[in-house]
């Protein structure tokens, strides 16, 4: 299943619903382009909903890190929502769970943005 994203706005926060595989190649590129487009429009508060992401490899993890640092370097915030067990496990073993702000409730996540 290829990676797909769909973006919606809730209280000034861009929520990106991601589905499919974030892997080397198309999946990583789609995520990169989506975040870049949002930043280009001045939308710097981004919540990545990964609830329907079925698979992520080291390139996909790298793309999440890249998105996080790119948004932060532009004065914005990027948070993660609804991690699947697989993605959660990967962020735990790579210690990135300590880097990302991970939420499991959308309304609370939206409120958590400054």
- Residue 112 in contact with other proteins, rule: CB under 8 A: no
Three-point CA angle 74, 101, 50, nearest 5°: 95
User: Beta strand pairing status for 45-56 and 101-103?
Assistant: unpaired
| Spatial separation of the C-alpha atoms in residues 38 and 111, rounded to whole Å | 19
Distance CA 35, CA 5 (A): 10
- Near other proteins in 14-43, by CB under 8 A: 23-25
- 95 is an interface residue for other proteins by CB under 8 A: yes
- Minimum distance from residue 77 beta carbon to other proteins (Å): 15
Piece of the chain touching other proteins by CB under 8 A; list 2-10, 39-47, 58-66, 76-84:
58-66
Q: Which of 20, 43, 65, 84 binds other proteins (CB under 8 A)?
A: 65
Largest distance between two CA atoms of the chain: 35
Q: Which of 61, 77, 88, 113 binds other proteins (CB under 8 A)?
A: 61
Q: Are residues 50 and 80 in contact, defined by beta-carbon separation less than 8 angstroms?
A: yes
User: Quick one: which segment of 8-16, 51-59, 74-82, 106-114 binds other proteins (CB under 8 A)?
Assistant: 51-59
């Amino acid at each position: 299943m290829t990676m797909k994203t769909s973006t919606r706005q809730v209280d000034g926060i861009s929520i990106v619903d991601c589905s499919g595989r974030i892997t080397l190649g198309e999946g990583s590129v789609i995520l990169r382009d989506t975040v870049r487009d949002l930043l280009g429009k001045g939308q710097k508060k981004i919540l990545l909903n990964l609830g329907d992401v079925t698979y992520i490899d080291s390139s996909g993890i790298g793309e999440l890190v890249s998105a996080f640092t790119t948004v932060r370097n532009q004065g914005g915030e990027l948070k993660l929502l609804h991690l699947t067990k697989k993605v959660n496990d990967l962020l735990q073993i790579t210690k990135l769970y300590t880097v990302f702000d991970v939420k499991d409730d959308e309304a609370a996540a939206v409120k958590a943005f400054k």
